[in-house]
Amino acid sequence: MYMTELLTLGEPIVTFAATDADQGLVDSINYYKLLGGAELNVMIGATRLGHSTNYVSQVGADPLGEFAIKNIEKFGVGTEYISTDSTNWTAFQLKERVSAGDPKTFNFRKNSAAAHLKKDIIDKIDLSNVAMTHLSGIFPAISETARETFEYFAQKMLANNIPTTFDPNLRPALWESQEKMTTTINELAKYGQIVLPGIDEAEILMGSSEPEEIADFYLNNSEVTKTVIVKLGPAGAYVKNEGEEAGQLVPGFKVEHVVDTVGAGDGFALGVITGLIDGLDMYHAVERGNIVGALQVQTPGDNDGYPTPDELAKFIAMNKGE
């Protein structure tokens, strides 16, 4: 059986990405097909850094579902917990290409196969070698069924003493209302031993853009949460642990040319997670997160910039004089 160090639950998104820069989704006529999904991005990046990963999900019995499984396997991520739904279809999205800023996307994922993933599959997972689990606020946004499965998954991880990270990953278009999104995400964040809010996300979720206030909010949100890492974009990240009077800034790395910001937050998460699995202290794990995020924004795909161990070492040597 496949040995799993890192595990997640999510929905793979087949993305049709425009090749015509700054034309928008309506006027672009040339697209190429690739595979994305925030939670999957984390698994792909962790696999590239040499860790064994597994992905819990469901796809449709259709060409896009076959494409998803084929490419997940190609990336080296475990697929034994991906089921196939003969009734519902695989989610996909359109993504524009921009020369600056965040590209717009349009999702086709309502009533998707993953939205019908039931919690029964969770009991089939072998947890014996799992070192960490990554949780994201996207999967529970796609349906009530997905939300129930997510909570069952998170509860089982905690019951088995498996450390959990939680990234809010706000996707307002997937929620019934901003109020529902805010309330639900803050409840689900209680399952994260390490919570990873972005500074802009936190302003929506708890009304502040002050890193220390954000950290204190999530540390007080749950007895489970021990560390909060506030993502500050190019400035880096602010880290605060339970019981500390003040947190610490971990500076980011200068990027000369940003191509596409998609996947940077997932890159940050995988950097932190793999750093911790590899035995780094929290500061240096967060520093690795900043490195992977900086590499990712220099590429056009969702996960193209995630480094191999050699590429990571090269970046550190060039940017830290080591």
CATH assignment of the domain containing 96: 3.40.1190.20
Residue 299 has pLDDT above 70, yes or no: no
pLDDT value, residue 260? 58
* Cα separation, 273 vs 136, whole angstroms: 13
Residue type, 190: K
Across 288-292, average pLDDT: 90
Residue 298 has pLDDT above 60, yes or no: no
pLDDT value, residue 1? 47
Residue 153 has pLDDT above 70, yes or no: yes
pLDDT band of 264, cuts 50, 70, 90: confident
**Containing H/E element for 322?**
none
Domain assignment present for 137: yes
Domain assignment present for 1: no
Residue 92 has pLDDT above 90, yes or no: yes
Catalytic residues, which ones?
Answer: 266
3-class DSSP assignment, residue 290: helix
pLDDT value, residue 265? 84
**Containing H/E element for 98?**
none
Residues 6+ apart with CB under 8 A from 174: 107, 109, 138, 141, 142
pLDDT value, residue 278? 94
Q: What is the DSSP letter of 87?
A: S
Q: What is the DSSP letter of 100?
A: S
pTM above 0.75, yes or no: yes
Among 84-88, 215-219, 249-253, 266-270, name the one with the lowest average pLDDT.
249-253
Q: What is the DSSP letter of 121?
A: G
DSSP structure string for 258-271:
----TTHHHHHHHH
Could you tell me the two tokens for 139? 């999967």
pLDDT band of 158, cuts 50, 70, 90: very high
How many domains does the chain contain in total? 1
Burial of 204 (0-12, 13-18, 19+ CB in 10 A): middle
Domain assignment present for 246: yes
**Containing H/E element for 54?**
strand 53-60
Average pLDDT, the chain: 91
pLDDT band of 184, cuts 50, 70, 90: very high
What are the CA-CA distances from residue 113 to residues 132, 134, 156, 249 (Å)? 26, 21, 23, 41
The domain of 109 spans 6-320
Domain assignment present for 46: yes
Domain assignment present for 27: yes
pLDDT value, residue 234? 86
Residue 305 has pLDDT above 80, yes or no: no
